[in-house]
Chain A
Amino acid sequence: MSKLICHQENVNESNIQELMDVCPFDAIENNNGIIEINAGCKMCKICVKKGPKGVMEFIEEKVVEVDKDLWKGIGVYVDHVEGEIHPVTMELIGKAKELAAVVNFPVYCVFIGHNITEKAKELLYYGVDEVFVYDYEELNDFRIEPYTAAFEDFVNKIKPSSLLVGATTIGRSLAPRVSARFRTGLTADCTVLEMKENTDLVQIRPAFGGNIMAQIICPNTRPQMSTVRYKVMNAPEKQCEPSGKITICELDRTKLTSKIDVLKITKKEVEENISDAEVIIAVGRALKSEKDMAMIQELADLLDAQIAGTRPLVESGWINAKKQIGLSGRTVKPKLIITLGISGAVQFAAGMNSSERIFAINKDPNASIFNVAHYGIVGDIYEIVPQLIEDIKNSNAQICAR
């Protein structure tokens, strides 16, 4: 077992406080001059690297590695409900192809459900080498035990080196179950994935609410598993001709029993919530009349955005109170926010200044919104927005014609 040891003889009054302070988890305790490490230790080894010299030492015991040559290929879990394939699946196929190219691996899909064999053909237009289909009545609804059993069967038969699963509510329930069954590593919500020459998958994910990023590897077990959220990776272009093959897999039906019964499925009413929006168009007082909201709506539709606004617009009743950004409204952190005619008072800016990309259009070059905007555009929304709508429409048309 790898362990952290303390060379007690090198601890003295002058360095003991320094040693305790270096630990970000308060795991080093001073028990009458004797250093003790408590259960708060995360083995970050900062005390070895940054603490007083020669006090803490990390002794690593070599763990038996798996034979990585036995595990080949990258598997993608096909996320679906009743055969309707979730688009995160195509994005993962796109990423899997990139990763596979580095080590010359095939890309596989595992598709678990009922009456899905026909639907599996759709996947062959995205450049996968083989789709493994588990098509049984017991797999009609997502129930954890039979789905895990089918997934387990796929892993045992195919021995994929890496598995990518969409971080949907299904993937976030299924992937941990599979990883525990194989006693292997699973990294949640990866934002960056890279393949090393030795087939180790480098996984980067945010932690502490996105305030730090962690780079994680899983060097001693296979398969290595990651979940990835929707709209993080890029889907490959659909090919004109299908390629690859579909393999129907047999499974012992006694493994498909479940202690769960799905009684009823209802369509979710999507309530728009600006806090979850990825793209937001925010409007302010520069909007002259309520009918101009139609122009804003058109731009929002083109960018797949939600509309939000400042308090004066809420008070005038042009937008719903739930769509107000700011200290007295909601805090938003979208990938893109475009503010239109908003001056950027502190009470508004505090609710949106951690957005990833901020475009601001305002007539007044001294508006404080330009202090938070990445792209400050000095101009009149009534001149820019209609033209912008045209430009975006034109560029969309070009893509379709290609």
Chain B
Amino acid sequence: MEILVCIKQVPGTSKIEVDPITGVLKRDGVDSKMNPYDLYAIETALRIKEQKGGTIKVISMGPPQAKEIIKEAFMMGADEGALVSDRKFAGADVLATAYTISQGVLKMGKFDLILCGKQTTDGDTAQVGPEMAEYLGIPHIANVLKIIELKEKSVVVEMDMPNTLEIAEIQFPCLLTVEKDIFQPRLPSYRKKVSTKDREIKIISLKDFEDQDEKRYGLTGSPTQVERIFPPSVNNDRETWTGTGAQLSFKMSEKLKQLKFV
């Protein structure tokens, strides 16, 4: 079984503020970490490997510092890792990111299964996985809650639908995005940290891709444009009401109506 896990480095905290006047992102501390949802994808891969054998490769896209999370994946038990990184990928939106990673995937050898976390904590879109599957021409199932059975040429999973749970069988090669809590992720091991400290992390850049058309990557390859970022409006008005019970309840029901809760 050849398993590929897609992981991303995200800011260590989501407590990011925008300066309301300049529109500049304010970041206190530049800590970064592995996207927490990706830990579930790695754990799922490890469990499958324990049953079926094979190799687990992790792939990430980002600046050279993102090698850190690939090392972390090694500490959990991943066998190989590669980082898709190139200055020309800068400014990529979801579509360009998905295309870039799928080009990177093609350089990682044959695969049966691609696993992704359900979303990232910085972008929160949950779109990269399904878009990659489209570019790779393979089927996908999103929001997988359980791996029910691993067969020779397929996997049976439970998926989360709006009002139902569905059990479905999907043939390899395919892509799954897994929900939080599919398995409890293990902690990184110190022993593995020592034994993998010199393991090579391959860097894949545009010149390695099959499709080297620069127009498809980075800002130019991105159909969406961020016009501006701004802080969410917060409701800081405070008022205090006093009166009789009847007056207060009437005032309250009128307010709830006005706010569309009734």
Point out residues on A near B: beta carbons under 8 Å: 1-2, 4, 22, 24, 26-27, 37-44, 46, 50, 61, 63, 79, 81, 84, 86, 141-145, 148, 168-170, 172-177, 179-181, 183-189, 202, 206-221, 258-268, 279, 302-303, 335-336, 356-357, 359, 361, 365, 370, 373-380, 383-385, 387-388, 390-392, 395-396
Contact flag A265-B165 (CB < 8 Å), given A209-B121, A376-B238, A378-B240:
yes
B158-186 Cβ-contact flags toward A at 8 Å (1 or 0):
01111111111111001000000000000
The 5 closest A-B pairs by CB, nearest first: A43-B91, A383-B245, A40-B63, A185-B223, A209-B14
CB nearest to B125 among chain A residues: A188
The reply to whether B227 and A265 contact each other, CB–CB distance below 8 Å, is no
The reply to whether B253 and A395 contact each other, CB–CB distance below 8 Å, is yes
The answer to the question of B156 belonging to the interface, with a C-beta cut-off of 8 Å to chain A, is yes
Picked from A39, A173, A218, A264, the residue with its CB within 8 Å of the CB of B140 is A173
The reply to whether A185 and B224 contact each other, CB–CB distance below 8 Å, is yes
Bound Cα distance A385, B174 (Å) = 54
Bound Cα distance A81, B162 (Å) = 8
The reply to whether A216 and B17 contact each other, CB–CB distance below 8 Å, is no
Of B70-78, B81-89, B107-115, the stretch lying at the interface with chain A is B81-89
Nearest Cβ on chain A to B15's Cβ, whole angstroms: 6
The answer to the question of B124 belonging to the interface, with a C-beta cut-off of 8 Å to chain A, is yes
Residues of chain B contacted by A388 (CB below 8 angstroms): 249, 252-253
Residues of chain B contacted by A380 (CB below 8 angstroms): 245
- 9 A-B contacts (beta carbon < 8 Å): A180-B131, A185-B93, A189-B124, A208-B121, A211-B232, A212-B17, A214-B226, A266-B166, A383-B249
Residues of chain B contacted by A187 (CB below 8 angstroms): 224
The answer to the question of B229 belonging to the interface, with a C-beta cut-off of 8 Å to chain A, is yes
Bound Cα distance A187, B94 (Å) = 9
The reply to whether B252 and A375 contact each other, CB–CB distance below 8 Å, is yes
Interface residues of B in 78-132 (CB under 8 A from A): 85-91, 93-95, 98-99, 121-131
The reply to whether B218 and A213 contact each other, CB–CB distance below 8 Å, is no
The reply to whether B223 and A221 contact each other, CB–CB distance below 8 Å, is yes
Of B23-31, B39-47, B193-201, the stretch lying at the interface with chain A is B23-31
Residues of chain A contacted by B223 (CB below 8 angstroms): 183-185, 218, 220-221
The reply to whether A177 and B238 contact each other, CB–CB distance below 8 Å, is no
The reply to whether A216 and B231 contact each other, CB–CB distance below 8 Å, is no
The reply to whether B62 and A40 contact each other, CB–CB distance below 8 Å, is yes
Residues of chain A contacted by B230 (CB below 8 angstroms): 212-213, 215
* Total count of chain B residues near the partner, CB < 8 A: 100
Picked from B14, B94, B227, B245, the residue with its CB within 8 Å of the CB of A211 is B14
The answer to the question of B150 belonging to the interface, with a C-beta cut-off of 8 Å to chain A, is no
Task: Give the interface SS of chain A, mostly helix, strand, loop or mixed.
Answer: mixed
The reply to whether A176 and B225 contact each other, CB–CB distance below 8 Å, is no
Residue with the greatest number of chain B CB neighbours at <10 A, chosen from A27, A216, A377: A377
CB nearest to B242 among chain A residues: A378
The reply to whether B161 and A37 contact each other, CB–CB distance below 8 Å, is no
The reply to whether B62 and A141 contact each other, CB–CB distance below 8 Å, is no
Bound Cα distance A180, B224 (Å) = 13
CB nearest to B240 among chain A residues: A376
Bound Cα distance A233, B242 (Å) = 34
The reply to whether B160 and A169 contact each other, CB–CB distance below 8 Å, is yes
Interface residues of B in 209-251 (CB under 8 A from A): 214-215, 218-220, 222-232, 235, 237-246, 248-250
Picked from B124, B218, B225, B255, the residue with its CB within 8 Å of the CB of A216 is B225
Residues of chain B contacted by A259 (CB below 8 angstroms): 139, 170-171, 174
Picked from A50, A217, A336, the residue with its CB within 8 Å of the CB of B227 is A217
Residues of chain B contacted by A2 (CB below 8 angstroms): 219-220
Query: Besides the contacts A212-B231, A267-B163, what 13 more A-B pairs have beta carbons closer than 8 Å?
Result: A1-B214, A39-B62, A169-B142, A173-B143, A209-B14, A212-B18, A212-B25, A261-B169, A265-B166, A267-B164, A375-B252, A377-B240, A384-B249
Bound Cα distance A81, B160 (Å) = 12
The reply to whether A215 and B226 contact each other, CB–CB distance below 8 Å, is yes
The reply to whether B171 and A265 contact each other, CB–CB distance below 8 Å, is no
The reply to whether A188 and B124 contact each other, CB–CB distance below 8 Å, is yes
The reply to whether B122 and A391 contact each other, CB–CB distance below 8 Å, is no
Nearest Cβ on chain A to B52's Cβ, whole angstroms: 19
Residues of chain B contacted by A22 (CB below 8 angstroms): 24
The reply to whether B86 and A39 contact each other, CB–CB distance below 8 Å, is yes
The answer to the question of B262 belonging to the interface, with a C-beta cut-off of 8 Å to chain A, is yes
Residues of chain A contacted by B229 (CB below 8 angstroms): 207, 212-215
Bound Cα distance A234, B239 (Å) = 28
Nearest Cβ on chain B to A281's Cβ, whole angstroms: 11
CB nearest to A61 among chain B residues: B220
Residues of chain B contacted by A375 (CB below 8 angstroms): 239, 241, 252, 255
Nearest Cβ on chain A to B26's Cβ, whole angstroms: 8
The reply to whether A180 and B16 contact each other, CB–CB distance below 8 Å, is no
